[in-house]
Structure 1
Amino acid sequence: MNKEINLIDLGNKDYKETWDYQENLFQEIVSIKLQKREFPTLTTPNYFLFVEHPHVYTLGKSGDISNLLLNEIQLAQKGATFYKINRGGDITYHGPGQIVGYPILDLENFFTDIHKYLRLLEETILLTIAEYGLVGTRSEGETGVWLDVGTPFARKICAMGVRASRWVTMHGFALNVNANLGYFDNIIPCGIRGKAVTSMEAELGKKINEEEVKQKITKHFSSLFEATFITQS
């Protein structure tokens, strides 16, 4: 089992370009897995992408388009784009000040349990924000990381949505660090009415160093997955 993960920081990159890049890496891993039937000594690579997207709304395959509250003209006025994509979950927003992480892993290198995978993604974020004094929790039946669950002030700080096929993952999480939360007013986030969205900046009252947050995410991810990151330029 290969527990090395190629870490690639794409910087600020268009959503569709990044999605295509994810698909290429995904197909590379699946292709090697198929070849392994004939050549069992082959190993599959793993990838972890960090990226920040220009303003974009994405709708998961089971999502409801009515959760997008803008028409095409209004989207253009907001400087935002929209894509219907092949991950789980409903609608979400990505934009500047948000750290997006896309692990593209062959889970057969780690464990074959999607539920465990999602819980470890959540745990990675829970441990990361805890280093800033934020007490995150899970919300039953609602993937992601929340604050003050079970109170009238419940709010989501990190959204998650993944796709997995042949035990290969893609898509991932979006942690609101210094994001402009006003863009969430244009959707019903994740299709969940009546619950707010927040960011680390909003909670802590100051701008947060995003590079530092990325370092903490990779530290906790590597520990939880018992993996080693290899930084790619």
Structure 2
Amino acid sequence: MQNSHTFLTRSARATAIAALASVVTTAAHAEDNDHDWYLSLNGGASIHTDDVEFTNGTNTVETDFNTGFTFGGAVGYRWTDYNFGGFVPRTELEVSYTENDVDTIDFSGNGAGNEVVADGSQISNVGIYGNVFFDLPNVISNDLTPYIGGGAGINIVSHNLLYGAGGLNLNDDGDTVFAWHVTGGVNYALSEQLSTFVDVGFRQAVDAGSVRRAGSRALTGAAGGTFEDDINSIVVRSGLSVDF
């Protein structure tokens, strides 16, 4: 089970790296003398806002996650010819990878109290988003630009929640679900083409699900089937942006 998850985690990371490489290639071939195109890279923390109550409609696997990490990148375009009350729009394609270890698990079908969580219990996802942001330049200073926006796309969520006796787990190679976020932050210009930024956002993966198993055998009935719930998190990031 652990070897399988290790392979899946590496596969998810490889997917994120491959997507980021595609983003870099796209940006590198963008020909625009006005530097409207940009490439950004970021990293930070992923903090779940509450316990995730995965449920099959009868029982729940209530899971509390530790603060995890996230990293990613985006290629974007600033629509500098447009201005909406001082807000200048930009659009981007974002790819990210996020991972959180499990702190506690409580299965309702086993009475009150937390289960014994095995090493390696975690959840990860590869996110792909189409984003729209609005910059508010020259309000604070020429170098400091606040922004706000959001996006929607998909999360490919990989579960590996190991607990209890008999190898009980929620395990899935990758459940593809709808995801969205709202994000705000500030960008600080270091030079004409290079800037740094920090932002914070709320992100949700909708109805991320996984099958409850004993080892590799899928369980059925009231204690089995697919357990689903929304996954809500606060993501705090910092990064660099390069204009082309």
Q: What is the TM-score of this pair, normalised by structure 1?
A: 0.28
Name the one with the larger helix percent: 1
Name the one with the larger strand percent: 2
Structure possessing the higher radius of gyration over alpha carbons? 2
